[in-house]
Amino acid sequence: MALCNLIYEGDARLIQINREETMNALSTALLRELSEALDAVRGDSRARCVILTGAGVRAFSAGADLKERRSMNEDEVRQAVARIRAVVEAVADLPMPTIAAVRGAALGGGLELALACDLRVMAADATVGLTETRLAIIPGAGGTQRLSRLVGAARAKDLIFTGRRISGREAGELGLAQYVAAADDVLAKALALAQMIADGGPIAVRQAKLAIDQGVEVALKEGLLIEQTAYESVIGTSDRMEGLTAFAEKRKPEYKGR
C-alpha cells in the first residue's frame, strides 16, 4: 500500500501520510513518497490549496521513525535528518497555500511538517509537541525557527526545553493552531478553508503568500517593496478584470489563473 496518498478534492489536493500502524512515523520510504507527492502538487497549476493530513485518527505523524533511527550510525542519522529537513522545506516552499489538518499526535518532525504549512487546523484533543530534547536531540527540521516565529521565542523555549505535549485546544490558545475543531470535523474544516481560498484569484493568492513569506523576514520598508512587486504581477491579469466585472454584474467571479 502507498505510504502517501495524493487525493484530488476539487481544486484542493490532499496529501495523506499513510502509515497508520506506526502513527504515520516518517520512515525513509515514506519520506521518499511524500517528496514525490510534493513534486506532483508543486507543478500542478490547478492546485489552489494543499492539505496535509495523516491517515486514521490517532496521528498526523509521530515524527521521525524511531525504530529505524535506532540502527543508524551517526552519518546515517545526519542523512536521515537531512531527508526530513528537505521534505519539510519542500512543504514550506510550495507556491500555493498549505493547511495541516491535525488529528491525534503531531510530535517532533510531525509537528515540524505542520509548522511548515501556512495554516493549521487541529482537533481539540490532538497531542502536539516538539519533544526532541526528551530524546537528547533538538528539532532538526525547522522547529526551533518556525515555532519561535509563530508563537514567540519565550513560548517556543517553554515548549522545546520541556518537550511537553499540549492539546490542540492549547495550541489554538497559543496561536500555534489557527482553527480548533472536534476531531471528526477537522478535515471538513480544512476543506472548507481550501474552498474559500480556491474562490479567490489564484495568482493573487500565490502572490499574497509570497509577499507575506518574504516580507516577514525583512525590514518593513523592504517588505513594502516586496508587496509592491507582488501587486504588480496581478495588475495585468484578466482575473483582475473578471473580479470587477463579476462585482458589477452581481455574480460569482470565475477566475482562470491568468
Residues with catalytic function: 64, 109, 112, 132
Binding residue for ligand COA, selected from 37, 64, 128, 203, defined by CB under 6 A: 64
Q: Which is nearer to ligand COA, 126 or 191 (CB)?
A: 126
Within residues 150-209, the interface with ligand COA by CB under 6 A covers none
Binding residue for ligand COA, selected from 4, 47, 105, 147, defined by CB under 6 A: 105
Closest approach of ligand COA to the CB of residue 247, in Å: 49
Q: Which is nearer to ligand COA, 63 or 97 (CB)?
A: 63
Tell me if 84 contacts ligand COA by CB under 6 A. no
Instruction: Record the cell numbers describing residue 73, joined without a space.
Output: 550510525
Closest approach of ligand COA to the CB of residue 69, in Å: 8
Tell me if 66 contacts ligand COA by CB under 6 A. yes
Binding residue for ligand COA, selected from 2, 32, 39, 67, defined by CB under 6 A: 67
Instruction: Record the cell numbers describing residue 157, joined without a space.
Output: 523555549
For residue 7, the one-letter residue type is I
First-residue to last-residue Cα distance in the chain: 38
Which regions of the chain does DSSP assign to beta strands (E)? Answer: 4-9, 12-17, 49-54, 59-61, 98-102, 105-107, 119-123, 127-129, 166-167, 179-181
* Beta strands at 4-9 and 12-17: parallel, antiparallel or unpaired: antiparallel
For residue 38, the one-letter residue type is L
Q: Where are the alpha helices (DSSP H) in 74-129?
A: 74-92, 109-115
3-class secondary structure, 146: helix
Binding residue for ligand COA, selected from 132, 146, 204, 209, defined by CB under 6 A: 132
Tell me if 80 contacts ligand COA by CB under 6 A. no
Binding residue for ligand COA, selected from 23, 177, 190, 191, defined by CB under 6 A: 23
DSSP state for residue 56 in the 8-state scheme: S
β-bridge mates for residue 27, sequence order: none
Which residue lies nearest ligand COA, judged by its C-beta? 108
For residue 182, the one-letter residue type is A
Rounded to the nearest 10 degrees, how much is the dihedral formed by the CA atoms of 141, 158, 20, 1? -10
- Count, residues near ligand COA per rule CB under 6 A: 18
β-bridge mates for residue 166, sequence order: 128
Tell me if 65 contacts ligand COA by CB under 6 A. yes
Residue 178 neighbours by CB distance under 10 Å: 17
Q: Which stretch binds ligand COA (CB under 6 A): 128-136, 175-183, 204-212, 239-247?
A: 128-136
Tell me if 63 contacts ligand COA by CB under 6 A. yes
DSSP state for residue 244 in the 8-state scheme: H
Q: Which stretch binds ligand COA (CB under 6 A): 5-13, 90-98, 107-115, 149-157?
A: 107-115
Binding residues for ligand COA, rule: CB under 6 A, are 22-23, 25, 58-59, 62-67, 105, 107-109, 131-132, 135
